[in-house]
Amino acid sequence: MKDLIKKLTETISPSGYESVIREIITEEIKDFADEIHVDALGNLIARKGSGGKKIMLAAHMDEIGLIVNHVDENGFARFSPLGTFLPHTLVGARVRFLNGTYGVVGAEYLKPATQTKLAPLNKMFIDTGASSPKDSPVKIGDVAALERPFHDLGKRLIAKSMDNRISVVILIETMRKLKKTEHEVYFVFTTQEEVQVRGALTSAFGIAPEIGIAIDICPVGDTPDSAKKEVSLGKGVSIKIKDPLMIADPRIVNWMIKGAEKAKIPYQREVSSLGSTDARAIQVAGAGAMVGGISIPCRYVHSPSEMVDYDDVKNTVKLLIALLEKKIKL
């Protein structure tokens, strides 16, 4: 899967501008789906199988990005975020615009004494090398994402937009390896998750699944002085029980845990105090659904260099196949 991880993480497709990544995913899955369509919000929906339970697997294909809202008299582009950025990860970061322009993020420093302090986003700008609005290669409304190459460290993998391209890869690989299923499974590559989880809401409304599973990354607690959290890289699939906006259905949690134990797949139990996933939208769309979440432990979330463990990635694929191949008793 590593070549595909490299291809997808190095693709620029921020929230609301997912057409490029959608085309790549479509090419990867077209031979493994019984039906493929794109809905009004740009969600890519692929169905496999029929009968049994109606199951929606969601992995968002967008990434955090920046949108220009002003170009000043010296050519510096001010921006608004598309999604959540951590200010300390941005200064000095390189970005690439959809039109091919490159830039670097800088920040205002009014006094030398403030240079060791974090600058807020409204004090930052993108330097594209321009000296005036007239020669600026970008204009108001142009969109960029972080620019960083994928690196394979062997067991550990580093890239921008592991959130959530790593889950997209997992869904693609699951489609490839799932030879048969007794259920009607929808593999949904959702849009605009990073901006209030929009795509999953509309796609879930259209599908009306009985069961919804969001596949996404989750922060870990295994780095020095990190928040207390019992999730680590390399210790297995993370089965989500709760996050700030979603309480997983206990029946779904138990089904996942029993499936992992039966298949001898290492797993971790996750209760998160930060963020949420597409599961929250699936849970409340239309008449609602039983939902759960499967997370890939990830270090340095929403930074230019997110890190995952390749064994965790492979084990997530194994768990999804183990769950989808058999009858479901909840």
Q: What amino acid is encoded at 281 in this protein? A: A
Distance of CA 156 to the CA centre of its chain: 18
Peptide bond into 43 cis (omega under 30): no
What's the CA gap between 184 and 50, in Å, rounded? 4
pLDDT in tens, 17-56: 999 999 999 999 999 999 999 999 999 999 999 989 999 9
- What's the CATH architecture for 2-63+160-325? 3-Layer(aba) Sandwich (3.40)
**Angle ∠(216,166,252) on CA atoms, nearest 5:** 35
Task: Output the average pLDDT for the chain.
Answer: 95
pLDDT class of 230 with cuts at 50, 70, 90 = confident
Q: 260 or 229: whose pLDDT is higher?
A: 260
Long-range contacts of 177-181 (CB under 8 A, 24+ apart): 177/317, 177/321, 178/48, 178/320, 178/321, 178/324, 178/325, 180/49, 180/325, 181/48, 181/49, 181/52, 181/324, 181/325
Give mean pLDDT, residues 147-159.
97
**Predicted pLDDT of residue 239:** 98
pLDDT in tens, 295-325: 999 999 999 999 999 999 999 999 999 999 9
**Angle, helices 310-325/162-177, rounded to nearest 10 degrees:** 40
193 among known catalytic residues: yes
**Predicted pLDDT of residue 114:** 67
pLDDT in tens, 271-295: 998 889 999 999 999 999 999 999 9
pLDDT in tens, 53-79: 999 999 999 999 999 999 999 999 999
pLDDT class of 97 with cuts at 50, 70, 90 = very high
pLDDT in tens, 5-20: 999 999 999 999 999 9
Give mean pLDDT, residues 240-258.
97
Looking up tokens 């084990």 gives: 315
Has residue 218 got a pLDDT over 80? yes
Catalytically annotated residue among 193, 194, 270, 306: 193
**Predicted pLDDT of residue 111:** 67
For the chain, what are the domain ranges?
A: 2-63+160-325, 65-146
Q: Could you tell me which CATH number the domain at 65-146 has? A: 2.40.30.40
Give mean pLDDT, residues 204-215.
98
Cβ atoms within 10 A of the Cβ of 234, count? 16
pLDDT in tens, 155-169: 999 999 999 999 999
Percentage of the residues of the chain whose pLDDT score is greater than 70: 98
The conformational region for residue 195 under phi > 0 = left, psi -120 to 50 = alpha, else beta, is: beta
Q: Answer positive or negative: Cα dihedral of 301, 306, 307, 310.
A: positive
